[in-house]
Amino acid sequence: ETGVTQSPTHLIKTRGQQVTLRCSSQSGHNTVSWYQQALGQGPQFIFQYYREEENGRGNFPPRFSGLQFPNYSSELNVNALELDDSALYLCASSFISGSGTGELFFGEGSRLTVL
């Protein structure tokens, strides 16, 4: 186990709704990244948070937003859900130090189905 926990594990929403996914980082980690993994595909980078600020973003629209809290937990929010948002959402934590970014540790993901 990586120590990265995500909730909920599964959820079903309808098109147009909003969803919040949560992540608790591994102890000692100060950086969290979110990835979207569509069925049968590799994960795609959504964004990364460091010191409670977005620190890099992939090719995702603004309706994908996030937060990182002082305890390094994180939320991913998606507004105006579309059918194509159905995917496994993965949270990954790591530690940034003066020598750079360490290994990414992934959680088990939140499976979102949009109907």
Partner 1 sequence: QQQVKQSPQSLIVQKGGISIINCAYENTAFDYFPWYQQFPGKGPALLIAIRPDVSEKKEGRFTISFNKSAKQFSLHIMDSQPGDSATYFCAASMNYGGATNKLIFGTGTLLAVQP
Separation of alpha carbons 74 and 67, rounded Å: 5
Q: Which is nearer to partner 1, 3 or 16 (CB)?
A: 3
Using CB under 8 A, which of 24, 33, 68, 74 touches partner 1? 33
In order of 2, 3, 30, 32, 37, the CA distances from 27 in angstroms are 10, 7, 9, 12, 24
Among 38, 47, 33, 41, which residue's Cα sits nearest to residue 104?
A: 33
**Taking CB under 8 A as the criterion, which residues in 10-29 touch partner 1?**
none
Give min distance, CB of 23 to partner 1, in A: 11
Residues that bind partner 1 (CB under 8 A): 2, 4, 31, 33, 35, 40-45, 48, 50, 55-56, 58, 90, 92, 94, 96, 99-101, 103-109
